[in-house]
Structure 1
Amino acid sequence: MDLPDGLTAAPYTVEALDAVFAVAAAQQQHDIGRVDVERADFEADWARPSFDFASMTMGVYDGDRLVAFGELIGANRGEVGVHPEYRRRGIGTALARWMEGAAREHGYTAIGGPVPQGSDGDRLLEKLGYGVRWTSWVLQVPAGATIPHRDVPDGYEIRAATPDDHEAVWNVVEDAFLEWSVRDREPFEDFIATVVRRPGHEPWMLRVVSDPSGEVVGTASLVMAEDGASGELTEAYVERLAVRKDQRGRGLAQALLVDAFEQGRQHGAPRSGLSTDSRTGALSLYEKVGMVVSDTWVNRGISL
């Protein structure tokens, strides 16, 4: 890697969790004015059986201090973080080029990731030839806003998932997401690691809707976000929402969404949030239940 004098680079291990999180948090605070990322985001990703630190991570160090990092998250997806104090020194460029090489070694045909629209990262990736693949929006139900309740059709039921539901949930999510996402099917073990075994997860956070026969036909998974400094709950974040294709048009997605919001508030979260992107065509669904856009991100990528 072509780095400024005095800086070194090497893959990191799970022991770097606090250092990687610190860089990611500083970057978000600088770029969007708040910290949405959590340590559990990294812990869950790193716990996936498919994740390999030696070939999928790279840290940049100033002495013993980690000041930037790059990760391959999965097929065609990566993330780079540079502490704001170390920007405009070529570190982001070096990590982007490392990520491209690592992606080639894993057999990926493209690489990229999300950056806040108009941020330093957005401008850098554009300069490096990364085009916009899609636009993403972060939406919130503001604290104190009324959540309109949605009933499900007769015979349908929304409830917490049980371990017996996990494979059905995985299939519903993957079938739905692969309608518009160009990637391989996520391994079931990776799904379990990032959802069911994510630090802080409790059974009530994984919601399902079943049809009159009892079959799972839709799901929503929640993450309860905390303030990194105080530990107070800040948001119930709907990480995944999916309804089986043949069950759409019955209002199940809206009902699942509102149920997730209600569950989040009952468990102490003052507001609710999620993200969606231009591939799904779901923005209007979320606006119908009172959500408003708080941030816009672009996913930039490059063919390899």
Structure 2
Amino acid sequence: MPAPLPLSTGFSERPLTLADAGAVTRVMAANELATIGEVHIEEADIVADWQRPSFDVGATTVGVLAPTGELVGYAECSGGARADAAVHPDHWGRGIGTALAAWISARAAELGEPVIGMPVPQGSPGDRLLESLGWFPRWESWVLALPEDAVIPVRDLPDAYAIRAATAQDHEQVWTVIEDAFLEWSEREREPFADWVATVVERPGAEPWNIRVVTGPDGAVVAAAVLVMTEDGREGYVSKLATRKDQRNRGLAQALLADAFGAARAHGATRATLSTDSRTGALDLYRHVGMEVESTWIHRATRP
């Protein structure tokens, strides 16, 4: 494990457990509120990610505790080239962020990762800190929202194609379509099916109708979307959207996007969102259907 963090007197560190998900969420939420003016993170996001069978929470996380025992900072090497970290704004300026960045780099080196990075809001204190530490930008990403009064034009599906909620029997096909599509541009290993189940199907609060699919003439899944509803039910977030390579340019993605947002509204959501990054080339597609950029993020990375 990396060397102990250089912390101010009275502060301490320890590995985290799944029971710390709520405390980590509170730190990340306070950080988001201070940097972008709103909170996106939910405890279900942390639980879903940390309950992956491949993820060893204790071995790949560290928490910083204030003298009161309250968690005020955390970092993780999430798997592959992914990392994340946050410091409660009440404790900015104590060197905690710098220490956590060094921990991420050291732990990634121990894990044999040639590069490790994480997203930070563009121009935020976190962005400026990582830049000052020599972390370089790899790509940009954007959070987009559909205005409440906007409707995505529904594209008619080709003959013999259908759109519906996925069944349990579809799950492996959905995983395959999504992974095949994302691995065309993403520099990572294929996500194990069991990890996909843990983060999507078994995510706290997930419902079967949250996974939407388009089937082709032979009944096979040819496009898929994963919808995440916020805890208060007011927002539907499309976390994944993919079309099988041999089925593109048929309007399937747009039809699926309209279906997913329509399903969210039918279940009470008044807000529809998604995110994309510069590796996908999909930003113009989402703008074309009326979505608007709400925030821009920079994926900053370092070579351990």
TM-score w.r.t. length of structure 2: 0.97
Q: Which position in structure 1 is the counterpart of 2:134?
A: 129
Residue 80 of structure 1: aligned partner: 85
- Root-mean-square deviation over aligned CA pairs: 0.9
Counterpart contact for 1:144–1:270, Cα < 8 Å: no
Find the residue that maps to 2:23 and give its secondary structure: helix
**Corresponding residue of 2:286:** 286
Aligned twin of 1:299: 299
CA distance in structure 2 between the partners assigned to 1:135 and 1:15 by the alignment? 32
Pairing of 1:88-107 with structure 2 (within 5 A): 88-107=93-112
Where does residue 31 of structure 1 map in the other structure?
Answer: 35
> 1:187 corresponds to which residue?
192
**Within 2, Cα distance between the matches of 1:15 and 1:248?**
43
1:47 to 2:51 alignment: yes
Aligned partner letter, 1:160: A
Task: Say whether 1:11 aligns with 2:11.
Answer: no
Residue equivalent to 1:261: 261
Amino acid corresponding to residue 102 of structure 1 in structure 2: R
Residues 173-223 of structure 1 show CA distances to partners (whole Å, capped at 9, x for unaligned) of: 111001101111111100000000001111100001111110111100000
State the 1:167 CA deviation. Answer: 0.8
For residues 40-77 of structure 1, the C-alpha deviation after alignment (integer angstroms, 9 at most, x for no partner) is 00010111001112211100001310000001111011
Q: Conserved in 2, the CA contact under 8 Å of 1:132 and 1:300?
A: yes
**What is the rounded CA distance, in whole Å, between the counterparts of 2:147 and 2:40 in structure 1?**
15
Equivalent-residue separation in structure 2 for 1:192 and 1:106 (angstroms): 24
Tell me how far apart the structure 2 counterparts of residues 126 and 252 of structure 1 sit (CA, whole Å).
Answer: 40
Moved more, 113-122 or 7-16: 7-16
Deviation at 1:138, TM superposition (A): 0.5
Asked if residue 242 in structure 1 is aligned to residue 246 in structure 2, the reply is no
The alpha carbon displacement at 1:142 in A equals 1.6
Q: Report runs of 4+ in structure 1 exceeding 4 Å deviation.
A: none
**Structure 1 unaligned residues grouped into runs of 5+:** 227-231
- Count matched residues: 299
1:144, 1:271 within 8 Å by CA — same for their partners in 2?
Answer: no
Distance 2:245 2:62 in 1: 39
Taking the TM superposition and a 5 Å limit, the aligned residue runs for 1:170-249 are 170-226=175-231, 232-249=232-249
Quote the Cα distance in structure 1 between the aligned partners of 2:158 and 2:288. Answer: 19
User: 1:92 is aligned with what amino acid?
Assistant: G
Is the contact between residue 55 and residue 102 of structure 1 (CA under 8 Å) also seen in structure 2?
no
Flag structure 2 segments of 5+ consecutive residues without an equivalent. none
Question: Are the counterparts in 1 of residues 228 and 236 from structure 2 also a CA contact under 8 Å?
Answer: yes
1:300, distance to aligned residue in structure 2 (A): 0.5
User: What's the TM-score once normalised by structure 1's chain length?
Assistant: 0.97
- 1:145 to partner: Cα distance: 2.0
| Letter in structure 2 aligned against 1:114 | P
Between the aligned partners of 2:296 and 2:119, the Cα distance in structure 1 is 10
Matched, 1:275 2:275: yes
Contact 2:105 2:303 in 1 (8 A): no
Contact 2:143/2:274, CA 8 A, preserved across alignment: yes
Q: What's the counterpart of residue 62 of structure 2?
A: 58
Q: Aligned partners of 1:181 and 1:53: how far apart in 2?
A: 24
Aligned equivalents of 1:233, 1:163: Cα separation in 2: 23
Alignment equivalent of 1:68, drawn from 69, 73, 78: 73
Distance 1:237 1:12 in 2: 28
SS of match in other structure, 1:53: coil
